[in-house]
Amino acid sequence: MSAAKPEIERKWLIDRPSEALLAAQPDAAPSQIVQTYLLAEQGLSRRIRARTADGITVCTRTTKRRIDAMTADEDEAILSADEYRALLAQADPACRPIEKTRWCIPYAGQLLEIDLYPFWPHQAVLEIELPSPDAAVCLPPWLTVRREVTGNRIYSNHSLSRAIPNEDDE
């Protein structure tokens, strides 16, 4: 098991961009993700993920403990396909697997992670991991931000696995 490392990120609800727009960005890389939440003790989030890009699937196990709205201790490890399948038996029955297309796009020295969910035709989520909580963020003009949702647990993938909020009508 690897040592937990801090993960600092900000998150925005955005208008859903077309995949053609995303694909047109330099070095854009899409992947398909299936994320399953596992039973966990209070205060922890445990998940397994199968992420497929360019025909190659990588499975991971992640454990997170939230520190504050922006920061979590995160422990992540790569799994074999057999380990992944075995952990599926620990799936939290209160959560449904989350399926999404993630677009990773380098922009202005940052990595944009744009998650497109099949249940929202008009909105998506943008995440940016930061080196520190006060790091400057530069959002591209080709995205339309609805609002920042950093710390809003309704838009965490764990919460989305339990209940999907209606699309924002702002």
Which tens digits make up the pLDDT trace of 89-123? 999 999 999 999 999 999 999 999 999 999 999 99
**Domain, as residue range, for 147:** 5-162
- Say which residue the tokens 């504050």 belong to: 68
How many CA atoms lie less than 13 Å away from 113 in the CB half-sphere?
12
Residue 168, in any domain of the structure: no
- The number of folded domains in the chain is 1
Residue 169, in any domain of the structure: no
Q: How confident is the model at residue 1 (pLDDT cuts 50, 70, 90)?
A: very low
Q: Please give the residue that has the higher pLDDT: either 134 or 1.
A: 134
CATH of the domain at 21: 2.40.320.10
Residue 167, in any domain of the structure: no
Average pLDDT of the chain, as a whole number? 94
Residue 76, in any domain of the structure: yes
Q: Determine contact, residues 74/4, Cβ cutoff 8 Å.
A: yes
Structure tokens at 20: 């053609």
Q: How confident is the model at residue 6 (pLDDT cuts 50, 70, 90)?
A: confident
> What proportion of the chain, given as a percentage, has pLDDT over 90?
86
Kindly state the average pLDDT of the residues 143-158: 94
Residue 170, in any domain of the structure: no
Residue 101, in any domain of the structure: yes
